[in-house]
């Protein structure tokens, strides 16, 4: 699949921008005592690649994620983790810092943030501490 003309993917700078976002996000996650244990610490580069290609595809970039991993199945892929409101809020906090670091125009920022916020809320699977 080629990049979609006029997509957010193209508007914000393509794969390099998404890679910067996700790398910055994981810098924060590595300092988080709740989130970091949920990630495969032996495969940080793989985690960066998977999240970056997922977001690129979602926003109109290449279909690398689906070719490599199949359908995203976000809820299924996250089911094994205890994702309570605290974990969600921590994830969103690190993602917000990463997104702000890109210094996007307001429309692109709010569009991207709205998706991340909704996606994070949809993955909460417990209210236990």
Q: What is the pLDDT of residues 37-90, one digit of tens each?
A: 998 889 999 999 999 999 999 999 999 999 998 876 766 566 777 899 999 999
| Tokens 């006029």 -> residue | 6
The DSSP 8-state label assigned to residue 79 in this structure reads T
Q: With a cut of 60, say whether residue 2 has pLDDT above it.
A: no
The rounded percent of the chain whose pLDDT value lies above 70 is 91
**pLDDT score of 100:** 98
Q: Are 77 and 123 in contact (CB under 8 A)?
A: no
pLDDT value of residue 73? 73
Q: Evaluate whether the domain defined by 25-122 bears CATH number 3.40.50.1980.
A: no
Percent above pLDDT 90 for the chain = 79
CA-to-CA distance for 52 and 57, rounded, in angstroms? 9
* Average pLDDT of the chain, as a whole number: 91
Average pLDDT for 109-117: 98
Instruction: Answer yes or no: is pLDDT of 94 > 90.
Output: yes
**What pLDDT is recorded for position 41?**
83
For 117-128, how does the pLDDT look when each residue is reduced to its tens digit (9 = 90+)? Answer: 999 999 999 898
Per-residue pLDDT, 119? 95
Burial class (CB within 10 angstroms; exposed 0-12, middle 13-18, buried 19+) of 79? exposed
């Amino acid at each position: 699949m080629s990049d979609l003309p006029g997509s957010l993917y193209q508007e914000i700078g393509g794969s390099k921008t998404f890679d910067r976002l996700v790398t910055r996000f994981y810098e924060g996650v590595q300092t988080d005592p709740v989130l970091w244990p949920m990630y495969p610490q032996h495969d940080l580069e793989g985690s960066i690649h998977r999240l970056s290609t997922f977001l690129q595809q979602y926003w109109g970039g290449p279909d690398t994620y689906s070719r490599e991993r199949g359908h995203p199945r976000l809820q299924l892929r996250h089911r094994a983790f205890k994702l309570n409101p605290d974990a969600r809020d921590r994830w969103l906090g690190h993602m917000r810092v990463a997104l702000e670091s890109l210094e996007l125009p307001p429309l692109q920022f709010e569009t991207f943030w709205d998706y991340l916020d909704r996606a994070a809320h949809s993955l909460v699977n417990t209210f236990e501490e």
